[in-house]
Amino acid sequence: MTTIAEPLPAAHAAVGSTGSDPVFGGVDTHADTHTAAVIDAAGRMLAHQQFPATPAGYGQLADWLADHGQVQRVGVEGTGVYGAGLARHLAAAGIELVEVDRPDRKIRRFAGKSDPIDAEAAARAALAGRATGTPKARTGPVEAVRALRVARRSAVGARAEAQTQLKALLITAPEPLRGQLRGLGLRQLLTTCAALRPDHSRIDQPEQATKTALRTLARRHAQLTAEIDDLDAQLTPLVQQINPALTGANGVGTDVAGQLLVTAGDNPDRLRSEAAFAALCGVSPIPASSGRTHRHRLNRGGDRQANAAIYRVVLCRMRWDPRTRAYVQRRTAEGLSKKDIIRCLKRLMARELYYLLTSPKTS
């Protein structure tokens, strides 16, 4: 027989609770509203209430939690998205925060799904200690790097898409336009297409329409390139100012350093150890042993963009760093494949980069 979760009451007080008792909060965040729940140290539900996702609502939510007792810890779902403003407000108020993942499917299947239920689950995760992740502080220069990188990543993707579309359009272009352009290199192709002069009075003809499309894509590519160069000019000194030791490491450029800084956040001390940082970047091997079989498998979780950044550092050092090249030769002689060697190097790079991220920012 299927168990149907009963709706929670709007608010009720647990027996024996006073304004001085320790309480734990949980918040289910959304774009327009946040639903908060509060429980006591015994796990008894005290109340839940909905607040607007505005600065005034954040203050009302914090005061409402304090009315039920001494707030020990608050679990917030989505501190990097809808809960970013609330997380900043609670952190400024001195309230301990933990990042809470959404309930897994098994719990939702048996307990149901609603904002109060999710908020209560977040509070229980904060009470039990299942949620231990410290949210990123989004009030420093690393948050500025993240914002600039969002615009840069979008421009890079759009430029690559424009280039792909231009080349695909060239394949089906009518002759003799196709014969005129097919042998050109990329840079010369873009310059030539940007200078095309189609006859708009004959736009109904495929050749003139193709010329118009090629010129538009080439000029879009040039405009996006200018945007990327402008963003790089702003990102490079900013990243070097934040952590010159990181940008001075072998194989670490502005793009890689920016991504690693964003992954660590403005408060890299939230990373408990280099093993935790490796797990965050998805480069820590996961045990997959059973019986007499002892092995590890590849970690496919974590921040995949940070994983890709570490991968680029490894490739650079495998090509130019003598110590890394010697390591590759030694491990190859031991019988490891290139893929396994790269996995080991990514784990080693995570250890080195962790100490650069958490060490004093000196050149």
Residue 282 lies in a domain: yes
Collapse the DSSP code of 77 into the 3-class scheme (helix H, G, I; strand E, B; otherwise coil) and give the result.
strand
Q: Do the beta carbons of residue 145 and residue 235 sit within 8 Å?
A: yes
Residue 164 lies in a domain: yes
Q: Are residues 236 and 156 in the same domain?
A: yes
Q: Among 107, 109, 85, 108, which Cα is nearest to 97's? A: 85
Residue 254 lies in a domain: yes
Q: Among 360, 361, 349, which Cα is nearest to 277's? A: 349
For residue 52, give the CATH number of its domain: 3.30.420.40
Q: 84: domain range?
A: 22-128
Distance CA 343, CA 358 (A): 23
| pLDDT tens-digit map of 67-121 | 999 999 999 998 888 999 999 999 999 999 999 887 766 666 777 788 899 899 8
Distance CA 160, CA 216 (A): 14
Residue that wins the pLDDT comparison between 318 and 294: 318
In this structure, of 2-11, 126-135, 162-171, the range with the lowest mean pLDDT score is 2-11
Collapse the DSSP code of 343 into the 3-class scheme (helix H, G, I; strand E, B; otherwise coil) and give the result.
helix
Per-residue model confidence (pLDDT) at position 106: 67
Q: Are residues 113 and 152 in the same domain?
A: no
State mean pLDDT over 350-360.
90
Q: Among 24, 28, 72, 75, which Cα is nearest to 53's? A: 28
- C-alpha Rg value of the chain to the nearest Å: 27
Q: Are residues 121 and 146 in the same domain?
A: no
Residue 8 lies in a domain: no
Q: Are residues 252 and 353 in the same domain?
A: yes
Residue 107 lies in a domain: yes
Plot region of 121 (φ>0 → left; ψ -120 to 50 → alpha; else → beta): alpha
State mean pLDDT over 180-186.
89
Q: Are residues 220 and 278 in the same domain?
A: no
Residue 135 — pLDDT band, cuts 50, 70, 90?
confident
Residue 16 lies in a domain: no
Residue 47 — pLDDT band, cuts 50, 70, 90?
very high
Q: Are residues 236 and 272 in the same domain?
A: no
Q: Are residues 258 and 177 in the same domain?
A: no
Per-residue model confidence (pLDDT) at position 195: 94
Q: Are residues 42 and 119 in the same domain?
A: yes
- Among the candidates 72, 102, 128, a domain finishes at 128
Residue 1 lies in a domain: no
Would you say residue 39 has pLDDT above 60?
Answer: yes
Would you say residue 347 has pLDDT above 70?
Answer: yes
pTM of the model: 0.82
| pLDDT tens-digit map of 222-240 | 999 999 999 999 999 999 9
Q: Are residues 238 and 251 in the same domain?
A: no
Amino acid (one-letter) located at 304 = R
In this structure, of 48-62, 190-204, 271-285, 290-304, the range with the lowest mean pLDDT score is 290-304
Per-residue model confidence (pLDDT) at position 10: 43
